[in-house]
Amino acid sequence: MGSLSIGHWLIVLLIVLTIFGSKKIGALGSDLGKGIKSFKNELKGNSDSEDNRT
């Protein structure tokens, strides 16, 4: 009952692909990447504006 083996992870992956489909998972990954990039840009923009104030 410890960690899951590679076989268990492959079965879970197969079930997820069957339920959601590869296109939807790809779109989800793309949206997640855009969100992270936007978040990083906002953090970088905020730190730049703070540096300009002092």
**pLDDT digit string, tens, across residues 25-48:** 888 889 999 999 999 999 888 655
- Cβ-contact 16, 25 below 8 angstroms: yes
Residue 12 lies in a domain: no
**The pLDDT of residue 46:** 65
Residue 31 lies in a domain: yes
Alpha helices in the chain (DSSP H): 6-20, 22-53
**The pLDDT of residue 48:** 52
Domain count, the chain: 1
Q: Kindly indicate the confidence band of residue 3, based on its pLDDT and cuts at 50, 70 and 90.
A: confident
Domain that holds residue 44: 21-54
On the question of pLDDT at 49 being above 80, the answer is: no
Mean pLDDT score, 6-17:
90
Residue 4 lies in a domain: no
